[in-house]
Structure 1
Amino acid sequence: MTAYPYDLILFDLDGTLIETAPEIADAVNDTLTRFELPPVTQQQVNDWIGHGTRTLLIQALAEVGKTTLEAVQAADNFKQIEAAFGTHYEQRCGTRSHLYPCVRETLQALRAQGVKLVVMTNKEGRYTQVVLDAHELAPLFDHVISGDTLPVKKPNPAGIDDCLQRFGVARERALFVGDSSIDVATARNGGITVWALPYGYNMGEPIESCNPDRVIPDFSALTTLLPTPA
């Protein structure tokens, strides 16, 4: 069998590695309740995932307050609400999230073959680490890029460029695996191949409409090209 075609794989987090939406919704509604605001639905939260947890909170506040995103951020109590959300989300992490099928086994198999593995998410770093630790995934990754690691975030390809340079990998030997139009756009902007999963959070749209290079049913597709152990 030929050698594995990728030396570096970058993964989105929410909706790709881990189903996190239920506990994100819990934390949002914990926060809204604290400030005597009405709750949002699980589907609304699913559709807001992708641009980072802070943006999701702003969208929720704009929805329940029937106002604009700008007005939410300009409100006198926004910093207080944001801090409360952080506390609630850290408490909720790991309570109702779970790995998608074949994730841990696939990461272990790829790592054993020497493939460099990276998480690239728009979730803020403090929450990214809590989620990874809750599911004991952090040791399986060589690097983590969160939404506040660099001055820009997805779909800007700066994180891809950083990893290609960091690990000395050619662009054609890198793969992005995600679940949303943001992930597909990130890979396209970075000039690398992108595979997409159909079960995540793509703002309510089918992932096929984003035209990734390949739609895979689950993570096991990433190991079918691995060399057979001697």
Structure 2
Amino acid sequence: MLNKSYDGIIFDLDGTMWDTRKPICEAWNIILSRHEEIHRTPIVETDLNDCMGLPMYDIAAKLFPQEQEQVRNALMDELCTFENGYLAERGGILYPQLAETLYTLSKKYPLYIVSNCQDGYIESFLTAHLMSDFFKDTECWGRTFLPKSESNKILIERNNLKNPVYVGDTAGDAKSAKDAGIDFIYAEYGFGDVSKDCYVAKIESFAELAEIL
């Protein structure tokens, strides 16, 4: 168990609490089928692997490099708007024992979410899987248009947190925690690789959080 006195847990979403690559591909390909002027093959899950954790306009640059910035960003806005509704109805793949572990943790800590996603994406997760009661507050790139570290700082200040810990699965998550001046727990089962000097603990399953915290 970590010998730390945390006053809150901030979670990343993709690769930490759920996996939405399959439904995102489905949603985005529906929209792309309506845009004959966009020339690229249908998006598949492997296309998203290198995109997880990036701000949405950075993802647009990766997936549509041949398009002008204004065009690809407008397309990404359309994709994300449709995706939010699609995910709110269908949900994603939750990591094992997610709800049970959140319930246990929420008895001891206030819980939060900070993600690099578009506005409305976190709400899709909360709606589809009936998770709203677990979380006190959320923040995202789609509202701040700032790096995740800054979104972390905004949420931390808004909730008067003194010593929260961030849980995520990528090197970007680790950097965002470091830049925000807080500890990081590495969700090894997720999408990224994080060096040992960047985390105070690592977990091989979401349920392990209840054991170490």
Query: Which bracket does the TM-score occupy, shorter chain normalised?
Result: 0.7 to 0.9
How far has the Cα of 1:91 moved from its partner?
Answer: 4.1
Using the size of structure 2 for normalisation, the TM-score is 0.84
Deviations 1:72-115 (A, max 9, x none): 3234x863x345413531343153612111221111111112x1
How far has the Cα of 1:13 moved from its partner?
Answer: 0.8
2:187 to 176, 191, 197: 197
Give, in whole Å, the separation in 2 of the partners of 1:53 and 1:2: 34
1:215 to 164, 178, 202: 202
Query: Is the counterpart of residue 90 in structure 1 residue 84 in structure 2?
Result: yes
Matched AA of 2:32 = L
| 3-state SS, counterpart of residue 143 of structure 2 | coil
Q: Is the 8 A contact 2:189 2:203 kept in 1?
A: no
% identical equivalent positions: 24
Q: Is the 8 A contact 1:28 1:57 kept in 2?
A: no
Query: Is the counterpart of residue 52 in structure 1 residue 49 in structure 2?
Result: no
Give, in whole Å, the separation in 1 of the partners of 2:134 and 2:26: 27
**Count of aligned pairs between the two proteins:** 209
The residue that corresponds to 2:69 in the other structure is 73
1:162 to 154, 161, 165: 154
| 3-state SS, counterpart of residue 177 of structure 1 | strand
| 3-state SS, counterpart of residue 93 of structure 1 | helix
Q: RMSD of the alignment, in Å?
A: 2.7
Give, in whole Å, the separation in 2 of the partners of 1:88 and 1:162: 27
Query: Is the counterpart of residue 99 in structure 1 residue 99 in structure 2?
Result: no
* Structure 2 unpaired stretches of 5+: none
The residue that corresponds to 1:6 in the other structure is 6
Deviations 1:197-222 (A, max 9, x none): 122223xxx33477322221112222
Give, in whole Å, the separation in 2 of the partners of 1:27 and 1:192: 35
Query: Is the counterpart of residue 108 in structure 1 residue 103 in structure 2?
Result: yes
Query: Is the counterpart of residue 149 in structure 1 residue 143 in structure 2?
Result: yes
Q: Which has the larger radius of gyration?
A: 1
Moved over 4 A (4+): 1-4
| 3-state SS, counterpart of residue 199 of structure 1 | coil
Q: Is the 8 A contact 2:57 2:73 kept in 1?
A: no
Q: Label 1:84 to 1:160 Cα distance change in 2 as closer, same or farther (>3 A).
A: closer
Give, in whole Å, the separation in 2 of the partners of 1:49 and 1:22: 13
